[in-house]
Structure 1
Amino acid sequence: MFPSSEENDPAPTASITLTDETGRSLPCYIERSLFVGDIEYVLLLPEDSAIEIFAWQGEGDEEEAVPIEDDETIDQIFATAEAVLAEQNLILRRTAFALTVAGELPPVEDAELFTLESEEEGSELEPEQLQLLSNFYHQEQEYSIYTPLDPLLFFAKMTPTGKPELLSQEEFNKIQPLLEEQLFDEMD
């Protein structure tokens, strides 16, 4: 997380909306704002909690969770996922860049945690801890809905029109050293 700086921090309730190419929106809080040169960069936290849906494949010790990311499958299972989350007073939303739920998440219980390890070779990503929210079946396929314990954050630059534009991985890699330098300068 970025350290606080009065001149760069927005008001605690400042928010902005990300929009994807399909027109879906994702309301976010502005967690941090930084200027590098004359470009403003913002760290955004979705207002609602992100969720991930996994399909269970295989049997017994060979069973593995496969993330559901394609729109066609999400379209097929959305109503069922929405209904099982509604039983917990959670409202499933099809937002830009991620599925989210509005409402109060249940307390974290160790027995309900799942650790997702990156399978990409050479990946430096830390294993991700997820909290189980619900399980359901759709056409004899078992699915599980999880929410990450670490918040989902987006890094964007502000356009001249005042709209946030997500940085590509290439853009982020290029600007990251400059941002780190500025943050370390502020910490001194």
Structure 2
Amino acid sequence: MDGSTLILTDDAGKSLPCFLETTFDIEGKEYFLLQPVDHSVQIFAWQASETEEEEEELVDIDDDEIDQIFETAHAVLAEQNLKLKRTAFTLTVEGELPELIEDDIYEIGIGTEEEGECEEFQELANFYHEEQAYSVFTSVDPLIFFAKLGADGKPELLSPEEIEYIQPYVAEHLIDAEDAEEEA
């Protein structure tokens, strides 16, 4: 079944086609590791930093703001032959991403400030909408989802509790898979 495509659907009925990267069985239940077919992207707004004078920082925007700027972001990305899509769980772009250039990589904090985790993102485009600056980023590391088959037979995302429960098994499964590849 690896290499297949599964469709995740959110509560609003939007879909997200994903490649099935691997499956693993935990205590008789099958779980899936999925990666979106298209590249996952995030749009952030730029605002003046509260701590550094004359500095700007990236801030998350909500769905209402995405609705307002979507057409502008879509047009800006289309100039690079990228098609912005309103997919389930994440925005995605279809097309070939530009070559990864070190100057286009930003470390963006994820989670809470206490966790202090950062991810590397590649800036794909920047634009203004009603005098507000925005940037579109894709993660340098691909986005992955953990899923299982629901009662209706369709793939569904795992809850945070389920992800926490399977995490030790996933790590073990991936290490075993890596070892098998090295032996081959």
Question: Aligning the two structures, in what range does the TM-score lie when normalised by the shorter sequence?
Answer: 0.7 to 0.9
Q: Secondary structure at the match of 1:88?
A: coil
Is 1:33 the counterpart of 2:8? The answer is no
Alpha-carbon distance change, 43 to 178 in structure 1, aligned in 2, over 3 angstroms: same
In structure 2, what is the Cα distance between the partners aligned to 1:26 and 1:55?
A: 24
Mapping of 1:129-168 within 5 angstroms?
Answer: 129-168=120-159
Unaligned runs of at least 5 residues, structure 1: 1-9
In structure 1, what is the Cα distance between the partners aligned to 2:169 and 2:75?
A: 45
What is the CA-CA distance between 1:93 and the residue it aligns to?
Answer: 0.2
What is the CA-CA distance between 1:36 and the residue it aligns to?
Answer: 1.1
Q: Deviations over 1:26-72 (max 9, x none)?
A: 0000001011122110000000001110100016643110022x221
Is 1:43 the counterpart of 2:43? The answer is no
Tell me how large the CA RMSD over aligned residues is: 1.9
In structure 2, what is the Cα distance between the partners aligned to 1:158 and 1:179?
A: 17
Aligned to 2:112: 120
Alpha-carbon distance change, 76 to 161 in structure 1, aligned in 2, over 3 angstroms: same
Q: Secondary structure at the match of 2:112?
A: coil
Number of aligned pairs?
176
Q: Secondary structure at the match of 2:156?
A: strand
What is the CA-CA distance between 1:171 and the residue it aligns to?
Answer: 1.3
Over the matched positions of the two proteins, sequence identity in percent amounts to: 51
Q: Secondary structure at the match of 2:65?
A: helix
TM-score by length of 1: 0.86
Q: Deviations over 1:73-106 (max 9, x none)?
A: 0110000000000000000000000000000000
Q: Secondary structure at the match of 1:175?
A: helix
What is the CA-CA distance between 1:11 and the residue it aligns to?
Answer: 4.0
Is 1:106 the counterpart of 2:98? The answer is yes
Aligned to 2:74: 82
Do the aligned partners of 1:39 and 1:158 also contact (CA within 8 Å) in 2? Answer: no
In structure 2, what is the Cα distance between the partners aligned to 1:105 and 1:148?
A: 11
Q: Secondary structure at the match of 2:99?
A: coil
Q: Deviations over 1:112-167 (max 9, x none)?
A: 11111246244163x21111111110000000111110000000112354311111
Aligned to 1:91: 83
